[in-house]
Amino acid sequence: MTAPAASAAPAPTSGLATLRRLILYVLLFALVVISASGLQGLLERLFRTASTLVSGDVAGLALSLAFTLIGGPLALLLWWFVWRRLDDESERRAPGWGLYLTGMYTVSLIISTTSLLNLATSFIDSHESQWPSPLANGIVWSAIWWWHRWMWKHPRKPSSHLEDVRAVVGSVFGLLLGAGAAIAALGSLLDVAIRGSAAAATFEPWWFPVLRSVVWAAGGAVVWWWHWFREGGRRFQTGLVDVTIIAVGIFVAGITALGGLGVILFVLLRLAFDRIDPLNDLLEPLAPAIAAAAIGTLVWRYHRMASVSRSTRTRRASLLVTSAVALAAAASGVGVVVNALLAAAVSPLAGGATRTLLLGGLSSLVVGAPVWWLAWKPRHQPRTAEDIPPGRRVYLVAFFGVSAVVALITLLVIGYRLFEFLLGDVTGGSLLDRVRAPLGLLVAAGLVAGYHFALWRHDRKLLAAAAPTHKRIIERVTLVSGYPPGSVDPEALARGIADATGGAKVTTWLRADDGGTGLPPSAALAPGVEEAVRQVAAALEGVTAHQVLVVAGPEDRLEVIPLAAAGGAPVLGGPVPGRVLRP
């Protein structure tokens, strides 16, 4: 048997090299930030000279000069030193360089984007434009961004380590900036359309804030497009991109869209049934809510489609997260409805507001429930163990757990109020009024927990019915593989045995005697991995021992030996080491 070469012993200097890189890159990061700040200060001063009448800020100028003239050359020197070392492939693959590049790329991207957009919007203002500071910042940090992008994509020294992180960070920043500004722009525009420009008493035309938000949104969209399409953020098949799609594109966008829809319905219901407030106040939240619902739905829909074209796991996770957000909305709606019901049962001294509360709960319920129904499909739940997708049990347990925690907290609050009522001089009405909110949450959490617990038990029954009884009896399998190298991969065989026994712990040993290795690979008539797994699984059928020794190969040799403790002592997982090469 050809023993695999022992993994290369770590170089004695690797710890030292890591420390050197850590110090070097932290120092470089600090020096780049210091010189950028100095240069920005000097440039800003230069731009202001035309409009400055009296200049007396010696301290500020001295600081900028020191930062530029000391930090700048040192930063360049250190960078030259680092850049020369980066000819070495191992240096470029070191985590330190990837982290530095990602960190500085992110910082420079965020500062340069916000400064340039600030510069653009500073001209859309009725006051005098404050352009020197954002212009200086934008020039300096854009140059740094370009410089780091050049190093990232350098034809001779490309840095592929953490490449997906840079693309993802850029696209998430662009997406959040673009979507947030788009909501603000659409919201202000709709607000003017719904309530009229008189609602906003300002000294500038109504379209100034809208235009400013449009500029920010366009900037965010460009940054997102650049990183998502040009830099290929969407093409990376890494877990980070999947998680980003789910967390930002599905979760955050889903909450925004559902929240917006809920508020729209709430305002409409209030207009119909609860017009105690002036119309202007009633309509105030309508425009931002419509904008949030529209932009949130757009972002959610795009990422939902993006997740469909990725792995099955991502698609399923996006559906589960959508269902979770919708269920949270519906359940909190039920809680608020109960809260309003109890509030109506109490006769307050003054005021009421129960109708507003009820309409709020209803709108949340009416928006959340249909989305949950469509995403979760409660009528099409798994009927067999094969239909149960992975991830579903985690979802069920998570919802059951979260609602249990909510129930515990609300019970404590209710208990505290109840004892306060029993021990002190407190009216019964006030007790009910003060426990109505936790009681509503308790009812909602109870309904959610009950439903998910029932589903979880149902799934468990299905799985138990599908699993043969012996599967959980075997706890440890010691596999001695005698197949010649290249025919049956022992690791794959071990995984197959673990699956076939319902998760037994498999310890793999390779035969080191002539029985396994003497034959040349071409002469061996060993079965394939699937065939070997099938044979072992068939041989394990009906074995009732906790520990089993399996001697498989060479050729069609297969021996399954149930083991028992000798003299009351438990049998250890592995055989006594004898003439074996390695575990």
Partner 1 sequence: MDDTAAKERTARRPDRILLTLVGVVVLLVVVALAVVFTRGEPAPLDEASPAGVVQRYSKAVVDGDTNTAQSYLTEGAKSRCRGTYSGEPAPARVVLISTTERTDSATVRVSIVRSSQGGPFGPSEYEMEDSFSLLKVNGQWKIDQPPYPLMACTVVPVKQ
Binding site for partner 1 (CB under 8 A): 255, 258-259, 262-263, 266, 273, 284-285, 328-329, 332-334, 336-338, 340-341, 343-358, 360-365, 368-369, 378-379, 381, 383, 424-427, 429-430, 433-434, 437, 443, 447, 450-451, 454-455, 458, 461-462, 465
Question: DSSP characters for 138-190?
Answer: HHHHHHHHHHHHHHHT-SSS---TTHHHHHHHHHHHHHHHHHHHHHHHHHHHH
- Smallest gap from Cβ 432 to partner 1, in A, equals 9
Closer to partner 1 by Cβ: residue 196 or 348: 348
Residue 178, classified by CB atoms within 10 Å of its CB into exposed (0-12), middle (13-18) or buried (19+), is buried
- Smallest gap from Cβ 425 to partner 1, in A, equals 5
* C-beta neighbour count of 282 within 10 angstroms: 15
57-80 in b/e form (b: 16+ CB < 10 A) is eeeeeeebeebbeebbebbeebee
C-alpha 463/C-alpha 469 separation (Å) is 11
Closer to partner 1 by Cβ: residue 321 or 362: 362
- Smallest gap from Cβ 178 to partner 1, in A, equals 21
The three-state secondary structure class of 136 is helix
Closer to partner 1 by Cβ: residue 120 or 409: 409
Closer to partner 1 by Cβ: residue 99 or 325: 325
- Smallest gap from Cβ 434 to partner 1, in A, equals 6
Q: Are strands 547-552 and 558-563 parallel, antiparallel or unpaired?
A: antiparallel
> Is 217 within 8 Å of 189 (Cβ atoms)?
no
Closer to partner 1 by Cβ: residue 53 or 201: 201
C-alpha 190/C-alpha 287 separation (Å) is 5
- Smallest gap from Cβ 467 to partner 1, in A, equals 15
Residues near 61 by beta carbon (within 8 Å), at least 6 away in sequence = 41, 45
- Smallest gap from Cβ 144 to partner 1, in A, equals 38
Closer to partner 1 by Cβ: residue 391 or 429: 429
The two tokens of residue 491 are: 């690791």
C-alpha 177/C-alpha 295 separation (Å) is 12
- Smallest gap from Cβ 340 to partner 1, in A, equals 6
Closer to partner 1 by Cβ: residue 16 or 353: 353
Q: Which of 67, 16, 10, 62 is nearest to 38 (CA)?
A: 67
- Smallest gap from Cβ 334 to partner 1, in A, equals 6
- Smallest gap from Cβ 355 to partner 1, in A, equals 6
The three-state secondary structure class of 319 is helix
Closer to partner 1 by Cβ: residue 345 or 394: 345
Closer to partner 1 by Cβ: residue 109 or 441: 441
C-alpha 511/C-alpha 550 separation (Å) is 12
